[in-house]
Structure 1
Amino acid sequence: MAGASEVAHPKLILRIFKELGDNSYPMSVLLLAGSWTGARALRRHGRDGTLRFLLLWATASIVPLLAVEIWSGYFFAIRQILFTTPALVLLAGYGLSHVGERLTILDLLPHRTSAPAIAYAGLTVIVSVAIAVRHWRSEPVDWRGTAQQLEDTLRQGDVVAMPQINALLEYYAPRLENFRADDLSAGPGFLGREGVQRRFVVCLDSLRPDPCAAFRRAVERDPAWRRQQLRGFTQWQREKQLP
């Protein structure tokens, strides 16, 4: 019943890029633009050893991480690349310090006030505040608790669909892989198979685009499905009807 985990795919590069900035494209752009400026400044100053060290620091973790993920089917998370960020921040700081001494936004103001580094810092603060507000407003997602609750609930004769979130739930509860079934039909589906007594569908509420959108609409008023709200997830359960 269990299919292969979809982890390695073309969107992985975009995920890495976005997660460099705490799941924010603007922050990632600011961070990489500053790092590029710092790398150019270090080369101009002849500090190639420092540049190699910082680039090695920033990249040495990514290649082994991707290799292990593709090999094992593991999920990719922001915490796995956190120690890449300090090297990029150091590069950005060096580059903007160099640029700030050479360029000004307004010639009449002192360079310490009008340097592009100040504008960069201001943009970084604004984006950081926006990210913090987004995190504060977002509903907490209890991956571990949901996985363990499923593991405690499922028994022989059960199947569960976990569209696009199976890799992470199975990380916290590996036994879930034995029950996985790619069945998002609103009807009986796998319940028509011999030996299957109960169907479960678990969907992440914050996932966009929502792979469960059609299923949610179809079962909204269907009494055959019992709904349970978890922290960040919605779970549906349907049992086989006795003849």
Structure 2
Amino acid sequence: MIPILAGFLVGAALLFAGVTLAALAFGTSFAERLMSPRPGITQTLAGVLAWTLALIAPGALVIIGLARIGGVLERLAMTRPPRSQLTAFAKTLPDEFVAATKVQLPDGQVIPELVVGPHGVAIFEVLPPPGLIRYVAGRWEIRLDRRRWLPTENPLERAARDAERVRRWLAAEDRDFVVKVHAALIAPDTRVTRTAACAVITRDQVPAYLGSLPPQRSLSPSRREHIVEQIRQTVSG
């Protein structure tokens, strides 16, 4: 957050400097001081240079300042937590389904959203908008600013690993059954190819996806309630 604040302050300072220079150049007697009835060569060159700076510098500072502030706003948009994808569906799910958000595992990893139901557990992770993430030349990249992209973790592999973390965490409770954990990536569309370990769905497909998961026969209502209680105890604020 400190680099973002510093970038905003720099942009604001450049913008203020540009506006101030423009006001000094065109709103005061600055122009009159540069004009002489009989200017010499030195005065003429100095006047041309001063006018050039007066015309170019304010505009350049304003443009650079606005660009800097725009970059800061983009970075803020990237760091803003994604909107919950399950909130709209939580109240419409049958009683046998329980949704939870921000589930913090013992290793510190936070699972954005998950649903406990007859299927076991399904975790959901959200793919950022296309303007912030892309897949090129066989790798995923995330946008750093207007021009720079940095390599990032494959979101499908991350979701699959998080599902495995949840499975190991639930198995650590020394139960006499293993909970099935499914992974799904919520994307703007389904152009991203799913893998054997992670489904790819849109936001509107969440209810249908949950309904398509096969029920886990060993997961009785009482066992499911134990899992729900364990998850509730770890939900981060």
Where is the strand percentage greater, Structure 1 or Structure 2?
Answer: 2
Q: Give me the TM-score of the superposition, normalised by structure 2.
A: 0.34
Q: Give me the TM-score of the superposition, normalised by structure 1.
A: 0.34
Where is the helix percentage greater, Structure 1 or Structure 2?
Answer: 1
